[in-house]
Chain A
């Protein structure tokens, strides 16, 4: 039995469906993120776990207890908001101790717990400050400490880093992940930032238009996207409409180009239309001729991105993106040059829909 279960959740606002047929099982100590574009129902789903919304249909189960109809203050759930939501009238210590005070814990215990939490977020001397005296990153760390002070069953984070600038975002997300793993706390992390989701999660739930597109580890989601949406939403991607031409050798035709795939074509017929995808980093200049697919192309554009160089090439009417690692000793081709690039059979993925 999973620690947190969302069983066939549906949520309607009037007639519009915000979330449909949502099924998820989260293990104890796992960090699962909800990833998807704005408006796809991430927050609504999270709020149903917190108790701020009630599902139109379906059940929320935490630690073997059906909490679907329990109010938020009766659930042991910690919540982190994008806007930090620290109480402006209380000090940092007052904020962190707020829930413990409500739970009528003795003053001594509260004091100790608050200090432990301040140490946990590496802000041991900030107890007497007010929220307005802190930077955004510090405020969000205090919000984290405040939510964790009550040792909740589940920690819910709704785009906690979106209001921060890029540098803090990266350092704070690894801090959140480290604390989550150290405490072994079960967490759901909502984000629309694919890089954030890939770097922080045990598993990712990719959502689109109120439903789940794919659930999987960051590795699975990135390397084996099942749907066109997942493939295009995560990372950059070359995707094409292709036609099955040869079942014995697994050959697909894209325009004039023929590509061999490692995917199973058993269920297909010659002439079937499929959607295929190739990640830009799976394409290389051909030095290794053992690779199955050889593509003759013309260099169209070169973009220098720091550690990576993105090259756009043209094959007939098709355009492909290719990423190579930056190497100061490697000579890059020039725009207009003819080149030959390769990719393995495994790099050609067939998307289900």
Chain B
């Protein structure tokens, strides 16, 4: 009874925009699902899914992308957490500059990023004024291109990762907690690992999730760097087939949502613990 009356109190226009938003997001999704179920004439079925999953290239590229995503997340966390922490602690005036830098992926298209990467890293690293080569061009070997793409992905995920971590740090009094830990003899490493990281866990997870979603669906960097990732595979598939790409798109979407749900479940208690300050 109570929540019914609560809902009634929400004004009409709020409902209007909310429902419009839901339709905007759900309708294309529904269309994709519906289309993916119609591979066989006149019946709804999962044929498209079966065909798509049986392709060995699917499993290979998909697992490759997951691996890239995990590495990207690890690198971003290692980069973003100490940076955001230090800015909150000692360099609040640097916050604007760093925020601006993290927003670059919204300004510079991925295609520009990848050409920039290729242009810079396709020449060898030499000691200046000699021809002694310190490092072969990164684009010339497999590990090199993998390093490049992870670097690129870290940049693409930066706006999400930095913002969520920074917001997470706002909910706890980072400075005082740091001083409390220091006065108990804690080193910087201990403070970051034992105090800061656990308290921004929820924020990290949401940043990680968004990074994951970006990496798994990314096409441009992977194609131009010749990485056998899921994005280019799906793109190619889309040019030759109709139903399977729809099935795979819908599946990745479901996976993302499942991951989000799990995160909500796992961190429900934690975020409360961290937030109740």
| Cβ of A216 under 8 Å from chain B | no
A102 within 8 A of B: yes
B136 part of interface (Cβ distance < 8 Å): no
Verify B184–A102 contact, CB threshold 8 A. Answer: yes
A85 to B179, Cβ gap below 8 A?
yes
Bound-state Cα–Cα, A143 to B180, Å: 9
Taking the complex as formed, is A18 at the interface, i.e. its CB lies under 8 A from any CB of chain B? Answer: no
Q: Which residues of A contact B179 (CB under 8 A)?
A: 50, 52, 72, 79, 81, 85
Tally A-B pairs: CB < 8 A. Answer: 81
In the assembled complex, B143 has its CB within 8 A of some CB on chain A: no
Contact B185 A73 (CB under 8 A): yes
Asked if B198 and A73 make an inter-chain contact with CB atoms under 8 angstroms apart, the answer reads no
- Within 8 Å by CB of A132, from B173, B186, B198, B277, lies B277
Total interface residues on A, CB under 8 Å, equals 29
Q: Do residues A79 and B274 form an inter-chain contact, with CB atoms below 8 A?
A: no
Q: A85-B173, A88-B172, A89-B195 are in contact. Are A79 and B276 (CB under 8 A)?
A: no
Chain A neighbourhood of B258, CB < 8 A? none
Give A131 to B182 CA distance when docked, in angstroms.
Answer: 19
Per-residue contact bits, chain B 186-224, to A (CB 8 Å; 1 contact, 0 not): 110010001100110100000000000000000000000
A2 vs chain B, min Cβ distance (A): 22
Q: Does A58 contact B (CB under 8 A)?
A: no
Distance in angstroms between the alpha carbons of A143 and B176 in the assembled complex: 12
Q: Is A321 an interface residue when CB atoms closer than 8 A count as contact?
A: no
B237: Cβ under 8 A from any A Cβ: no
CB contacts (< 8 Å) of B135 on chain A: these are none
Question: In the docked arrangement, what's the CA distance between A99 and B194, Å?
Answer: 12
Choice from B182, B195, B199 contacting A73 with Cβ under 8 Å:
B182
Q: How many angstroms between the C-alpha atoms of A150 and B184 in the bound complex? A: 8
Q: In angstroms, how far is the closest chain A Cβ from the Cβ of B272?
A: 7
Specify which of A72, A83, A103 is in contact with B183 (CB 8 Å cutoff).
A72
Contact with B along A179-201 (1 / 0, CB 8 A): 00000000000000000000000
Establish whether residues A89 and B198, one from each chain, have CB atoms under 8 Å apart when the complex forms.
yes
> Which of these, A87, A99, A132, contacts B177 with CB under 8 Å?
A87
User: Interface code A26-62, partner B: CB below 8 Å = 1, 0 otherwise?
Assistant: 0000000000000000000000001110000000000
CA distance A266 to B62 in the complex (A): 96
B127 an interface residue at 8 Å Cβ cutoff? no
Q: Once bound together, how far apart are the Cα atoms of A162 and B241, in whole Å?
A: 69
**Residue B181 at the chain A interface, CB threshold 8 Å:** yes
User: Please, which residue of chain B has its CB at the minimum distance from the CB of A143?
Assistant: B180
Contact among B173, B195, B273 with A83 in the assembled complex (CB-CB below 8 Å): B173
Complex: A51 Cα to B184 Cα, angstroms: 12
A163–B159 CA distance with the chains assembled, in angstroms = 36
Docked Cα-Cα span, A98 to B177, in Å, equals: 12
B 21-39 binary contact with A (CB < 8 Å = 1; else 0):
0000000000000000000
Say yes or no for A130: interface residue by CB 8 A criterion: yes
Q: Which of B85-104 contact A (CB under 8 A)?
A: none
**CB neighbours of B273 from chain A (8 A):** 88-89, 130-132
Closest to A47 in B: B179
How many angstroms from the CA of A75 to the CA of B187 in the assembled complex? 13
Q: What are the 7 A-B residue pairs with the smallest beta carbon separation, nearest first?
A: A132-B276, A99-B184, A89-B198, A79-B183, A85-B180, A72-B182, A85-B176
Residues of chain A touching chain B, judged by Cβ–Cβ distance below 8 Å, are 50-52, 71-75, 77-79, 81, 83, 85-89, 98-99, 102-103, 130-132, 143, 146-147, 150
Supplied contacts A102-B185, A102-B186, A132-B276, 6 more A-B pairs, CB within 8 Å: A74-B185, A79-B180, A88-B276, A131-B276, A132-B273, A147-B184
Interface residues of B (CB under 8 A from A): 172-173, 176-177, 179-187, 190, 194-195, 198-199, 201, 270, 272-277
Q: Give 11 pairs: A residue, B residue, CB < 8 Å, sorted on A.
A: A72-B183, A79-B183, A87-B180, A88-B172, A99-B184, A102-B184, A102-B186, A131-B273, A132-B272, A146-B180, A146-B184
